[in-house]
Amino acid sequence: MVAYGTAFRTDIEGLRAWAIVPVVVFHAFPQLLPGGFLGVDVFFVISGYLITKLLVQRMDAGSYTLSGFYAARVKRIFPALAVVLLVAVLLAWLLLPAPDLKAFGRSLMATVAFLSNQEFLRTSDYFGGDAELKPLLHTWSLAVEEQFYLLFPPLLWLLKRQSRIPPLSVVAVLGLLSLLFSQHLLPRDASAAFYLAASRAFELLIGAACAMSAGVIPTSGGGGQRLREGLGVAALLALGGSFAMLKPESPLPGLLALWPCLATAALIVTCADGRGVAYRLLSLAPLRWVGRISFSLYLWHWIVLVFLRYALLREPTAWETGAAVVLAVLAAAASLRWVEAPWRQTRLGTRAVLAIGGALIAVGLLVGAVLQAGWRVEPVRAQQLAAAVVDVNPRRSSCHMSGNRQLPYEQACLWGQPERKPIREFALWGDSHGAELAVALGEALAPRGGRVRQLTTSSCPPAPGLVVPSRRPCLGINEATLAALKADAAVTDVLLAAFFPAGRQDQPASFDAGYARAVDELRSAGKRVWLVTPVPNYDFPVPAALSERVRRGGSTDAHGQRLDDYLVAHADELRMLRQLAGRPGVQLLDVSAGLCESGRCAVADAKGAYYFDKHHLSLLGARRLAQMWAPRLLP
């Protein structure tokens, strides 16, 4: 992901392999290398080093021009990227459902404008469930680099034209400020810390500092060489350890990102003399070959994996995923030989290269606009099923809490009859699985004189005391919600709803204990408690799968999960809920009784789909359950 032009180093070619292989493994088999995504951080350090070294050399020689620098970036990035985007556009037109095709168009425009990090910050969590279906998600890192290189070369040029302030000192200060900004953002907006160029700049500046400093570690003498060798081996081990030990839920980038970044910097510095164990390991021929195809492999591997899911309309098997990775490697090798290498050797002038780059950007913007406009003809039934993606709580953005935003209890949304005193007031406490149920239950209970208070927060199941590593504010939110419910005499009934597979997967004992505590304390406060059982969940967004089956001329009849499979998949959760329901004043609200009466769980009816993604009920699906439950809740 960096330009050529500096003195060639075989070890850095191998170091690129240490960056790309973990990324590919993480995207294909995340359980094998949970920290593999940190390969991008390694790329950033390498990029900062090589680009800064090139800039310093040309500035010292008097041959630096800003236009020449950007022309070199165009020659390095645009050819391979253009081919990948062309293939992605064709596959998107063939395989993506209408809403996803429009979103792809928007992301295509952002990609060619090198603003995709901003686009995905607005629309996606990199580690979220929808990330695996965004074909251009991986281009966020290209956007970060190019935004950095819009400002860094002119700044470096200005610094080298004055003599009062050492350029390295300024780079160090800027890197420290970026690191502190990243760490500051993490607890407040982890996605912003992940995607923003300002919170990633310190990683590129670490590489820049390596290029601007020399002689830090002795290069001669027995002691100096042994120190270099020891540091190099330790850095390799540390880098590998970061890939194995860090996880998506780790607080990154921030201070913890110094682990892989400083390990990479240490390798760059200690291997600079072309000697040592680390240098020889990084210079092995297989690693160097992988390093040569690393840029194209980065571009190809993700779109192959994403479009494989769209082609299958399900999660691929391990064998299918492995075949996809092999295909991506072959595509990357072909790209290096027939796309990257010829363009790297072209003798086109700076103006011509920049003109070609501008033309490619313009074409990308135009194609993206066409896709976003939704001009592809869709069958009516496919449109109806796909529309479920927006069939959500109409006030989700204001009534449902997400991120670190808290809504005071007294400001919680009321559904049903908030204008007059109800016969009975219900509260729905849960994570995002309760957001649509609150609306539907409010509608169903309104004619009976009931209303529903919505108390839902993303990724915060109603289990007080449960610590969700990626959502630490949940601890305080749940304690405050439980205390408020106990103190509110107007609320007579409390419904608990959660996405059990996510909530229980890492800490089942803590989850169950928290659920039991909520039930017992609510009962002690005189509340009736209703436990909503798990919603059948799927490995591919239901509206997309159903609409694409229709658009491709297939049937949707057998898409729903078999009841027996549902009962097996959720056996532990159902056992826990049944035990709690055996206590006085506690009852179950059985989702399967409303969706799976025929032995297969329904996912749609003539009006549309019952889900708006893989596991969240749409309003239509929630209304089906609410109409069935209303007579029990309020006879």
Which pLDDT tens digit goes with each residue over 458-504?
A: 889 999 998 876 677 888 899 999 999 999 999 999 999 999 988 78
Q: How confident is the model at residue 417 (pLDDT cuts 50, 70, 90)?
A: confident
- H-type alpha helices, 218-292: 222-245, 258-270, 277-282, 285-292
d(CA 79, CA 340): 6
Q: How confident is the model at residue 214 (pLDDT cuts 50, 70, 90)?
A: low
What does the pLDDT read at residue 495?
A: 98
> In the chain, where does the domain assigned CATH 3.40.50.1110 lie?
392-535+571-591+612-630
Omega of the bond prior to 253 within 30 degrees of 0, cis?
Answer: yes
Which pLDDT tens digit goes with each residue over 310-326?
A: 999 999 999 999 999 99
Which pLDDT tens digit goes with each residue over 25-40?
A: 999 999 999 999 999 9
* Average pLDDT estimate for 330-344: 95
- H-type alpha helices, 139-221: 140-160, 167-185, 190-195, 197-212
Q: How confident is the model at residue 420 (pLDDT cuts 50, 70, 90)?
A: low
d(CA 595, CA 437): 14
Which pLDDT tens digit goes with each residue over 578-613?
A: 999 999 999 999 999 999 988 999 999 999 999 999
Which pLDDT tens digit goes with each residue over 68-109?
A: 999 999 999 999 999 999 999 999 999 999 999 999 999 999
* Average pLDDT estimate for 544-554: 92
What does the pLDDT read at residue 188?
A: 84
Q: Mean pLDDT, the chain, as a whole number?
A: 92
Dihedral sign, Cα of residue 215, residue 221, residue 224, residue 226? positive
Instruction: Please give the CATH number for the structural domain made up of 392-535+571-591+612-630.
Output: 3.40.50.1110
Which pLDDT tens digit goes with each residue over 149-204?
A: 999 999 999 998 887 889 999 999 999 999 999 999 998 888 999 999 999 999 99
* Average pLDDT estimate for 530-559: 92
User: Exposed, middle or buried: residue 138 (CB in 10 Å: 0-12, 13-18, 19+)?
Assistant: buried
Which pLDDT tens digit goes with each residue over 54-73?
A: 999 999 888 999 999 999 99
CB 118 within 8 A of CB 143: yes
Q: 222 pLDDT exceeds 60?
A: no
* Average pLDDT estimate for 393-407: 82
- In the numeric block, the tokens 């290029």 are attached to 211
- Does residue 441 or residue 226 have the better pLDDT? 441
What percent of the chain shows pLDDT beyond 90?
78
d(CA 599, CA 564): 8
What does the pLDDT read at residue 3?
A: 36
* Average pLDDT estimate for 3-24: 83
- Does residue 418 or residue 507 have the better pLDDT? 507
CA distances from 196 to 95, 147, 577 (A): 30, 10, 42
* Average pLDDT estimate for 8-12: 90
Least confident span in 290-304, 486-500, 530-544, 552-566 = 552-566
Which pLDDT tens digit goes with each residue over 426-459?
A: 999 999 999 999 999 999 999 998 999 999 998 8
pTM across the whole model: 0.89
* Average pLDDT estimate for 374-379: 88
What does the pLDDT read at residue 128?
A: 63
**3-class DSSP state for residue 526?**
coil
What does the pLDDT read at residue 226?
A: 80
Cα torsion at 214, 216, 222, 227 (round to 10°)?
Answer: -120
Other beta carbons within 10 angstroms of residue 355's beta carbon come to 14
d(CA 326, CA 482): 51
